[in-house]
């Protein structure tokens, strides 16, 4: 779908864009998938207006299936407001449900040499893109550049404290063997070479692709000063939904033979490891963990139910 050079209404079925967007392709296209998160998207785009690196454009991919090729009214209003204020931003719709379908759609609608990714509920620090580009330009055979995904608590509720303790986001990136798309920079050439994200995976396709990038001989580069902030989940249902989606990703990645037993074993091993960690903390009386133990019980129960649901033929959650 071609950009037309002026903001248009979501009902028109055309791409939302800013006037500056048509002048020339920016060096970096930043792709943000979004699904019913107008408030979070507004905060993310506000952070992007403060980037110290300027040669980028934003492609917001509205993953609202009912919208078809149009962006939904709420997302379109946010995009139009920032486009009118001068941010190089445009919006497209993606009918296929799932964030990796949306990211692949964003790739196909961008023309830049480099492709960056973040999430609609992330808050990139002002130096984020500049630090990522510097790391890309100064390394030999770069494959993916990523940096810290710094969690901050939504509040002091056990839900937030649990995520601060156990979230994989920062850990995965800092290990350097795979990266999450909350904080990613990659070239269009490599994405084309490897076929983009495996959109059949509802969770973990970023880890899958970063490992394929590494296997193809490219380097995974950790840039410690390319920082994106990410809030913890604020409610138990948000946290359980995240874990059900993670189970769905594990289900899709696991060979069909003995799949149910393998996924259940993974769920129970992880749950037991975290139970032991929390019980040790409670025994040492170094921190209050009773609320966190209740959260872990709810998560393990939800993951077991989700595994059984999938084993009965249901589809993974989006």
- Do 107 and 54 share a structural domain? yes
What number is the average pLDDT over the span 101-105? 96
Indicate whether 108 belongs to any domain.
yes
For the stretch 201-235, pLDDT in tens is 878 899 899 999 999 999 999 999 999 999 888 88
Which residues, 6 or more positions from 138, have their beta carbon under 8 angstroms from its beta carbon? none
What number is the average pLDDT over the span 1-16? 33
- Do 281 and 216 share a structural domain? no
Is residue 7 predicted with pLDDT exceeding 60? no
Is residue 3 predicted with pLDDT exceeding 50? no
Residues 226, 131: contact at Cβ < 8 Å?
A: yes
Scanning the structure block, which residue is given the tokens 């590494």?
Answer: 214
DSSP state of 218: P
Token readout for 104 is 């692949």
Indicate whether 14 belongs to any domain.
yes
For the stretch 33-81, pLDDT in tens is 999 899 999 999 999 999 999 999 999 999 985 655 678 989 999 999 9
Report the share of the chain in percent with pLDDT over 70: 87
What number is the average pLDDT over the span 82-99? 94
Indicate whether 5 belongs to any domain.
no
Confidence of residue 11 (pLDDT cuts 50, 70, 90): very low
- Do 208 and 281 share a structural domain? no
| CATH number, position 46 | 3.90.550.10
Residue 87 φ/ψ, nearest 5 degrees:
-75, 135
Q: What is the mean pLDDT of the chain?
A: 86
DSSP state of 230: E
Highest mean pLDDT, choosing among 150-154, 174-178, 241-245: 241-245
- Do 82 and 117 share a structural domain? yes
Alpha helices, DSSP H, located in the chain: 38-48, 73-84, 99-108, 128-138, 158-166, 169-175, 188-194, 205-215, 236-253, 259-284, 290-311
Of 221, 253, 283, the residue that ends a domain is 221
- Do 212 and 96 share a structural domain? yes
Residues 199, 96: contact at Cβ < 8 Å?
A: yes
Strand-pairing partners, residue 186, are 115, 144
Range of the domain at 305: 236-311
Of 157, 188, 221, the residue that ends a domain is 221
Indicate whether 169 belongs to any domain.
no
Confidence of residue 152 (pLDDT cuts 50, 70, 90): confident
- Do 100 and 184 share a structural domain? yes
Indicate whether 60 belongs to any domain.
yes
Indicate whether 107 belongs to any domain.
yes
The interaxial angle of helices 290-311 and 259-284, nearest 10 deg, is 180
- Do 98 and 72 share a structural domain? yes
Residues 128, 49: contact at Cβ < 8 Å?
A: no
- Do 25 and 89 share a structural domain? yes
Q: How far is CA 42 from the centre of its chain?
A: 16
- Do 198 and 68 share a structural domain? yes
Indicate whether 163 belongs to any domain.
no
pTM value?
0.80
- Do 292 and 200 share a structural domain? no
Is residue 117 predicted with pLDDT exceeding 80? yes
- Do 69 and 38 share a structural domain? yes
Q: What is the pLDDT of residue 203?
A: 81
Indicate whether 171 belongs to any domain.
no
Of 221, 246, 277, the residue that ends a domain is 221
What number is the average pLDDT over the span 249-266? 90
Report the share of the chain in percent with pLDDT over 90: 61
Confidence of residue 120 (pLDDT cuts 50, 70, 90): very high
Max CA-CA distance within the chain?
Answer: 63
- Do 188 and 44 share a structural domain? yes
Q: What is the pLDDT of residue 175?
A: 63
For the stretch 155-193, pLDDT in tens is 778 888 888 888 765 555 556 667 889 999 999 999 999
Confidence of residue 263 (pLDDT cuts 50, 70, 90): very high
Domain count, the chain: 2
């Amino acid at each position: 779908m071609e950009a037309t050079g002026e903001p248009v209404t979501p009902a028109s079925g055309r791409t939302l864009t800013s006037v500056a967007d048509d002048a020339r392709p920016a060096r970096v296209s930043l792709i943000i998938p979004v699904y019913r998160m107008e408030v979070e998207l507004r905060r993310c785009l506000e952070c992007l207006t403060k980037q110290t690196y300027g040669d980028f454009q934003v492609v917001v991919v509205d993953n609202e299936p009912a919208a078809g090729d149009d962006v939904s009214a709420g997302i379109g209003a946010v995009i139009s407001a920032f486009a009118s204020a001068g941010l190089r931003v445009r919006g497209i719709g993606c009918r296929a449900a799932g964030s990796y379908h949306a990211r692949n759609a964003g790739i196909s609608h961008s023309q830049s040499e480099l492709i960056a990714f973040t999430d609609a509920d992330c808050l990139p620090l002002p130096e984020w893109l500049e630090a990522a580009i510097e790391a890309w330009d100064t390394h030999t055979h770069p494959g993916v550049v990523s940096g810290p995904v710094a969690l901050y608590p939504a509040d002091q509720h056990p839900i937030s404290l649990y995520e601060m303790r156990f979230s994989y986001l920062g850990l995965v990136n800092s290990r350097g063997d795979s990266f999450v798309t909350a904080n990613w920079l990659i070239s269009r050439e490599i994405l084309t070479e490897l076929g983009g994200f495996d959109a059949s995976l509802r969770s973990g396709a970023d880890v899958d692709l970063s490992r394929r990038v590494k296997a193809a001989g490219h380097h995974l580069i950790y840039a410690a000063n390319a920082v994106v902030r990410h809030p913890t989940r604020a409610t138990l249902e948000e946290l359980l939904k995240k874990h059900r989606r993670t189970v769905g990703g594990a289900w899709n990645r696991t060979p069909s033979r003995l799949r149910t037993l393998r996924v259940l074993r993974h769920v129970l091993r992880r749950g037991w490891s975290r139970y032991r960690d929390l019980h040790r903390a409670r025994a040492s009386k170094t921190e209050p963990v009773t609320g966190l133990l209740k959260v872990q019980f709810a998560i393990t129960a939800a993951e077991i139910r989700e595994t059984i649901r999938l084993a009965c033929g249901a589809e993974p959650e989006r």
